[in-house]
């Protein structure tokens, strides 16, 4: 399964590395590196449904769930 947040849709990205040596020599010895998302596997109890749901969610998605409520957020994401 791909590492993707079910709420925000965040995934890993490939970005270029940059070293301090580049500034001195105009030569970039670093290659591309994968920047991973902070994905957590969380089990959340939903009192509205009376059951637990396990979701892969990013730290930003957890913050969103705390702000709006877990049921509303997961309903909008299409998981409930």
Please give the pLDDT value at position 18. 72
pTM: 0.73
Please give the pLDDT value at position 27. 67
Please give the pLDDT value at position 28. 62
Q: Which residues of the chain have pLDDT under 70?
A: 1-2, 19-29
In a domain, 57, yes or no: yes
Spatial separation of the C-alpha atoms in residues 1 and 5, rounded to whole Å: 11
- Total number of domains constituting the chain: 1
Spatial separation of the C-alpha atoms in residues 58 and 35, rounded to whole Å: 14
* Half-sphere exposure in the Cβ direction for 29 (13 Å, CA): 6
Please give the pLDDT value at position 24. 67
In a domain, 18, yes or no: yes
The CATH number of whichever domain residue 55 belongs to comes to: 2.30.170
């Amino acid at each position: 399964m791909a590492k993707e947040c079910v709420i925000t849709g965040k995934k890993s990205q490939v970005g270029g590395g940059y070293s301090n040596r580049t500034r001195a020599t105009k030569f970039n010895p670093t290659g591309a590196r994968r920047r991973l998302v902070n994905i957590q596997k969380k089990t959340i109890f939903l009192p509205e449904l009376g059951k637990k749901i396990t979701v892969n969610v990013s730290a930003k998605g957890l913050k969103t769930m705390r702000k709006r409520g877990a049921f509303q957020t997961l309903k909008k994401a299409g998981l409930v």
